[in-house]
Structure 1
Amino acid sequence: MLRRTLLTSAAMALGLAGTAFAQDKVKAGFIYVGPVGDGGWTYEHDQGRKAVEEALGDQVETVFQESVPEGADAERAITQMALSGADIIFTTSFGYMDPTNAVAAKFPDVKFEHATGFKRETPNVSTYSARFYEGRAIQGHIAGKMTETNKIGYIASFPIPEVIRGINSAYLHAKKVNPDVEFSVVWAYTWFDPAKEADAARALIENGADVILQHTDSTAPQAAAQEAGNVITFGQASDMAEYAPKPRVSSIIDNWAPYYIDRVQAVIDGTWESTDTWDGIGPGMVGIGEISDTVPEEVKAEALALKDQIAAGEYHPFTGPINKQDGSVWLAEGETASDGDLLGMDFYVEGLSGEIPN
């Protein structure tokens, strides 16, 4: 009887130790606006999540919820993830900003990281984003050089500063190398809707565009361009290399992995602090996908030189002189835009037609 009691006590002790060990494992949660198989934005965030698992091994457990609509549904999903024991939660879409801060106020011991937002209302919220406009400058350069119709189409998601910055950057750099270029912007009012995105691409192509850029998340515009024939495209958020060498001639790649690993490691180490991160090509958060041989060698060399200049901090994509759409001066000769101006950008630059929706 004594032996059985001792063995039972030992087993219980081992069980408790195992429970304690399991509880020491940091749980990292991810809320996604699209499906992990979207081939773009959500796909790359999920690649970052997988990189966390690979890098941190037994120290971490990750969970995710995909296709969470922005708004009230997001607050419910984030709350449920916090209740399930997550130690850190990454909310990966602009429209999750208010829900993230609302839930963070109720769970002060949980760390929250919001992608592309600007509100940090409690000390347990951080914000992070990438300077996508740097990649748009390179795309604009290639687009301006390669268009034969001088018509470039742009599929935009929502009229928020991040998207407006991208349109302006691409246009400025296309116009710089091709003064005759015209941009047509179609607002899709979605991040991920393959049918809508394909329809937008087809409409732009029917209107004469032979270059399509996008700030939406699916590969549907690539497929529509492939069907059309003499149209080129650029991968958005991920490489979309399955459409190379044409129509996809290059891409902007969002590399979230180093940031996610670093932030989860900080939770493990007990060193996590509320921060605001906005990195670009130089630090590696924005990557430029391989430029295919469809692009003439001279244009490819120019694009890579521009990339190197941006990475080294030798060139800023928003360097004056630049006027606003109404002709008023925004940046004087040689002046560069401040981060504050860029983060609040709500206007088109001179030369772009149409109005930004409210």
Structure 2
Amino acid sequence: MTQDVNVDDDTARRFLEEMLRIDIFEEETKERFGDGEIPGFVHLSGGHEGSHVGMGAAMRDEDWLAVGGARLIGQYIAKGVPLPEIMAELYGRVDGSNRGHGGQMHVADVDRKLYGHAATIGSGQNPAVGLALAEKVKGTDNVAVTTIGDGGTSRGSFHTALVFAAYWDLPVVFVIENNQWAISTPAESLSPDSLSDYGDPHNMATESVDGSDVEEVYRAVSDAIERARNGEGPSVIESRVVRLVPHFEGDKETYRDEAEYERLKEEKDPIENYRERLLENDVLTEGEIEDMVANIQDEVSEAVEFARESPEPEPEAAYEHVYRTPLYGQGE
């Protein structure tokens, strides 16, 4: 049975193009990491692309995105950070969005209203609440959207943010990307039936949606943002996705049932499902999708060359943007 497309054709094409952009960029990232060009750890977004794109499309440029969880590259792309700057940051080069200081999990871009991840999972929600409070004090109708994984909801900082957002009735949207696994701990170990239920004690609007359906995420986040703009307070959305990649590159995933894993790859791939949906509804042709893929591959290749040509930071850069003595009246 053909599933309808519930957005206009231009929006549908943009959704697919952006999901493909995330996928192709991350496939190249995987290759470059495997070849030793990208240092550190890499956590890819496979299975989350629809959630990232639907959320990003629901936001205005002036809205804040305070990212959380481990699967962040797709969120950077959805917020509009240019591919060359992201890739250069992954390479640890000075032309990266954080001049090589951040790496894969710590990209920030204040000019584009992207508040970067801190060092611990589940730490982006309190800054998001602060950003929402600042926008409210300034009298704007800008909204803060913040993301977290299912595992991160077990941290006290997440629940503190909910309390603060509810008490001050702030324009903030909490998006919980429940990909079923907190590294190797299944989400079914958590007590709520839906992780959006965490908003119930605070009388927040809540909704649980199929995060592999880009249109569903777009609708739910758009509705929540509209409520926030109209002064109707915060919302909690559970975006149910499937992690179709390892927790990190190199994770052997011995904790997953292989047959179930393969079934989910067949049924819950957000890109493949939406591609088929657009073809069946005559929104795009196979040829147009092939052209789209080719253009994105060129973009990604240019991003890699940009990163390779960007210089590495000088050793002295390690001392930039860090605290130093004297602090609080201390002597030299």
TM-score bracket, shorter-length normalisation: under 0.3
More strand by share: 1
Task: Indicate the structure (1 or 2) with the bigger Cα radius of gyration.
Answer: 1
Q: TM-score, with normalisation over the residues of structure 1?
A: 0.26
The structure richer in helix per residue is 2
**TM-score, normalised to structure 2's length?**
0.28
- Higher RCO structure (Cα 8 Å, ≥6 apart): 2
